[in-house]
């Protein structure tokens, strides 16, 4: 797998290095890019790994360019891996709608045509990209996962479905109950089909309600000025379930913050410190 990686960018950043790669994904059937931040090798030989999953319309560049996470990651000795949000390419199914198709993979394994051939972002992250991280870059230490919006949904689902793998989960403005909000219903109808029997395994509220594995601490930040808060996000649903179950989750309502990377940049250091504490 190593020989298939093509280095696209390399930048020294805060005593570490910011990298961007392209490779052919056998899981997704197309070329994919991902970004990777590595702290100073001499100080941190086998750093813990924090995954970042981005939201609708984003690529791996949004986080690396806008979040300002490299300085704190270098200080704490954390590696960060940022996948793209969906398969891409001329031969990959797409939609004219911005919230479906390329840029909107929703971190599920699609079962419906024309999406099933390429849209298997869950398997891509949990298996293929994980193997690259471990085998190529030696990132075999403890892991945590975080994300924003659609990526917050992905982080919660992947974290809760892989009991014992991740030490902590954090999200910014996550879609916590996609079965019941417009973004999620539209994507699940397309990718998973109108028969809702399979939907709960991709919905964090359903997963947490039935969860009986190792408790993974969760931190959620939600801006009160977020225009998507009421209709699309609804993190209080997940918080209520956590309270009922005595699950270790913290929901912080951040006054006036919106859905943008200005919000993420304002609190990313605290999220990385949260993960480092558990890693």
Task: Give the catalytic positions in this structure.
Answer: 149, 226, 259
Q: Map residue 197 onto helix, strand or coil.
A: helix
Give me the sheet containing 166-172, strands edge to edge. 6-13, 16-25, 30-38, 79-83, 49-53, 143-148, 166-172, 218-223, 249-254
Nearest alpha carbon to residue 57 among 157, 180, 183, 226 = 183
Unique residue bearing structure tokens 């709608």: 97
Q: How many angstroms separate the Cα of 257 from the Cα of each of 173, 262, 273?
A: 10, 8, 20
Q: How far apart are CA 270 and CA 73, in angstroms?
A: 11
224 CB-contact burial (10 Å; exposed 0-12 / middle 13-18 / buried 19+): exposed
Comparing C-alpha atoms, which of 50, 67, 40 is closest to residue 275?
50
Sign of CA dihedral 153, 158, 20, 274: positive
* Nearest to 268, CA basis, from 11, 76, 19, 85: 76
**Per-residue b/e over 84-94, b at no fewer than 16 CB within 10 Å?**
bbbbbeeebbb
- Beta carbons within 10 angstroms of residue 80's beta carbon: 26
């Amino acid at each position: 797998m190593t020989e298939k990686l093509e280095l696209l960018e390399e930048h020294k950043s805060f005593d570490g290095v910011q990298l961007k790669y392209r490779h052919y994904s056998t899981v997704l059937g197309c070329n994919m890019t991902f970004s990777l931040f590595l702290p100073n090798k001499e100080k941190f030989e086998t750093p813990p790994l924090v995954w970042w999953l981005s939201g609708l319309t984003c690529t791996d560049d949004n986080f690396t360019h806008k979040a300002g996470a490299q300085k704190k990651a270098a200080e704490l000795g954390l590696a960060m891996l940022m996948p793209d949000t969906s398969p891409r390419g001329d031969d990959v199914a797409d939609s004219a709608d911005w919230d479906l198709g390329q840029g909107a993979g929703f971190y599920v394994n699609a079962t419906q045509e024309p999406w099933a051939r390429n849209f298997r972002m869950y398997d891509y992250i949990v298996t293929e990209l994980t193997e690259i991280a471990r085998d190529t870059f030696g990132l075999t230490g403890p892991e945590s996962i975080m994300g924003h919006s659609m990526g917050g949904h992905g982080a919660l689902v992947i974290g809760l479905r892989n009991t014992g793998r991740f030490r902590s989960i954090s999200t910014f403005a996550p879609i916590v109950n996609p079965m019941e909000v417009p973004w999620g219903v539209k994507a699940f109808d397309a990718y998973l089909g109108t028969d809702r029997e399979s939907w709960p395994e991709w919905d964090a509220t359903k997963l947490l309600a039935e969860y009986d594995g190792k408790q993974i601490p969760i931190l959620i930040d939600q801006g009160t000025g977020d225009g998507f808060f009421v209709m699309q996000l609804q993190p209080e649903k997940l918080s209520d379930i956590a309270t009922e179950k005595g699950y270790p989750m913290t929901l912080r309502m951040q006054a006036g913050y919106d859905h943008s990377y200005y919000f993420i940049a304002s609190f990313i250091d605290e999220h990385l410190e949260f993960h480092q504490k558990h890693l």
